[in-house]
Amino acid sequence: MDVRPSPIAGQWYPADAAELAAGVDRALDAAGPVASGAAVVAVVAPHAGHVYSGGVAGHAFAAVRGLAPELVAVVGPMHVPARGALLTSAHEAYATPLGPVPLDAAARAALDAALAAEGAAGLTPVRDDDEHSVEIELPFLQRALVGAWRLLPVMVRDARRPVALALGRALARALANRRALLVASTDLSHYHPQAAARRLDAELLRRLEAFDADAVLRADEEGAAEACGVGALAAVLWAARALGADRVRVLRYATSGDVTGDYRSVVGYAAAVATRP
């Protein structure tokens, strides 16, 4: 199998499998059971190093603990310069210390075709990328989900509305007949004092709970709020809505300062879940 080697194991999360599994399980256990009373369509999770945002991520993935999807689409930003508006891995699997996560080639092709049907540029495959926004979520998925599942990774470089909307519609089309889970990977405000960060993030989370992808995008454009994965988040909201979700609930919010004790310059993190009746 052509496996993408991890560029972040040992830095963003432990390289030792036992240590990684124990840390993820502690975060899931600390979150406790998340009673949604409905079917989970998507979750929103942060993508900083586990020591900083793992506690918040635990709440997102506790909402899907014990579920058995066949396909998980993880959509996050591409933080580094890259060619293409939307990217995916050209490898057959992602490596984590907990074992390889195989990609779903059929889903990747279906999404590419669905993007073309939306009149959008297709997926640009990349090899040996350094992007962490998809990989950082995988150990949580490996510990929370049961059964065999495959990954559809998408990295958003162009967060403008036409691109995000086309991706959302295409994801809904590609996942419509699959037992699938969507994951939006994003952090919130970056490097503000704690009080300012909480004000910015509260506005973003208000628009998120309103289930309004357009308002989420406008918040970033207007400077009312920040999210480094705003295009990925909006796309997942549009996809979740098209797949029947009718509610978004924020499960947890914190900042890096709540972990480090340094509130002078923090990053915001949130966990949320989108459900359908």
pLDDT at 231: 98
pLDDT at 36: 64
Q: What's the structural domain count of the chain?
A: 1
- Which CATH number is 125's domain given? 3.40.830.10
- 135 in a domain, yes or no? yes
- 36 in a domain, yes or no? yes
- 189 in a domain, yes or no? no
DSSP, collapsed to helix, strand or coil, labels residue 251 as: strand
Per-residue pLDDT of the chain (277 residues; tens, 9 = 90+): 999 999 999 999 999 999 999 999 999 999 998 876 789 999 999 999 999 999 999 999 999 999 999 999 999 999 988 899 999 999 999 999 999 999 999 999 999 999 999 999 999 999 999 999 999 999 999 999 999 999 999 999 999 999 999 999 999 999 999 999 999 999 999 999 999 999 999 999 999 999 999 999 999 889 999 999 999 999 999 999 999 999 999 999 999 999 999 999 999 999 999 999 9
Chain-centroid distance of CA 118 in Å reads 23
Angle at 201 between CA 79 and CA 20, to 5 degrees: 55
* Per-residue pLDDT tens digits for 65-92: 999 999 999 999 999 888 999 999 999 9
Closest CA to 231 of 159, 172, 167, 161: 159
- 54 in a domain, yes or no? yes
Strands 39-45 and 180-185: parallel
pTM of the model: 0.97
The residue segments making up the domain with residue 211 are 3-181+200-276
